[in-house]
């Protein structure tokens, strides 16, 4: 859903870089999963606001700027079951994990292992005989077949 990019103020608030098209939706979840060096843990969202420079939040157990700074770089997520159903003709990225990825010649490149964000672009991590990182944009992703669990891409390793 996003990444914690730093502290906001001195009372434990964090700044969030959202990965979602509608950042305000982050405030609808009563808790977030936060990935720290120790692993994923659930944190209650005590307050949430859309600030001029993006979403900010105060999480349970994060009482001051020092605690907020310790969370810098941590990924945030929510349990899949809290997302509900995707809209008509849409899928959440998490639902694409495990889909087979095929190139324009019908060759399997592997399966989707996950996604990460770079400068506003989602990048699909595909693991096969080698690991590939394919931008999830129309230039490369030609179709997604949810029923067949397959993604067709225009990708040449040459």
**Cβ atoms 80, 96 nearer than 8 A:** no
pLDDT digits (tens, 9 = 90+) for 26-41: 888 999 999 988 889 9
pLDDT digits (tens, 9 = 90+) for 65-117: 999 999 999 999 888 778 777 777 777 888 899 999 999 899 999 999 988 87
Tokens 């305000």, located at residue:
24
Residue 158 has pLDDT above 70, yes or no: no
CA distance 81 to 111: 23
Domain of 65, CATH number, reads 2.40.30.60
Residue ranges making up the domain that contains 143? 93-153
Final residue of a structural domain among 15, 46, 79: 79
At residue 69, φ and ψ (nearest 5 deg) are: -65, -30
Count how many Cα atoms sit within 13 Å of the Cα of residue 12 in the half-sphere of its side chain: 12
* Biggest distance spanned by C-alpha atoms of the chain: 55
Say if 38 falls within a structural domain: yes
* Of 25, 42, 149, the residue nearest 96 (C-alpha): 149
Final residue of a structural domain among 26, 49, 79: 79
* Of 64, 87, 80, the residue nearest 29 (C-alpha): 80
Calculate the alpha carbon distances from 75 to 78, 88, 146 in Å: 10, 28, 26
Domain of 144, CATH number, reads 2.30.30.240
At residue 116, φ and ψ (nearest 5 deg) are: -145, 165
Question: Rg of the chain's alpha carbons, rounded to an integer?
Answer: 18
Residue 19 has pLDDT above 90, yes or no: no
């Amino acid at each position: 859903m996003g990444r914690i990019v730093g502290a906001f103020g001195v009372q434990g608030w964090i700044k969030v870089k959202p990965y979602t098209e509608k950042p305000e939706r982050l405030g609808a979840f009563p808790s977030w999963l936060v990935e720290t060096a120790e692993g994923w843990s659930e944190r209650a969202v005590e307050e949430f606001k859309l600030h001029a420079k993006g979403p900010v939040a105060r999480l349970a157990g994060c009482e001051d700027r020092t605690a907020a700074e310790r969370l810098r770089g941590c990924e945030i997520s929510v349990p899949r079951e809290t997302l509900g159903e995707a809209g008509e003709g849409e899928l959440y990225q998490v639902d694409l994990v495990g889909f087979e990825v095929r190139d324009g010649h019908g060759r399997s490149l592997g399966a989707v292992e996950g996604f990460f964000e770079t400068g506003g672009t989602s990048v699909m991590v595909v693991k096969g005989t080698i690991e590939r990182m394919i931008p999830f944009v129309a230039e490369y992703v030609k179709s997604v077949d949810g029923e067949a669990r397959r993604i067709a891409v225009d990708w040449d390793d040459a």
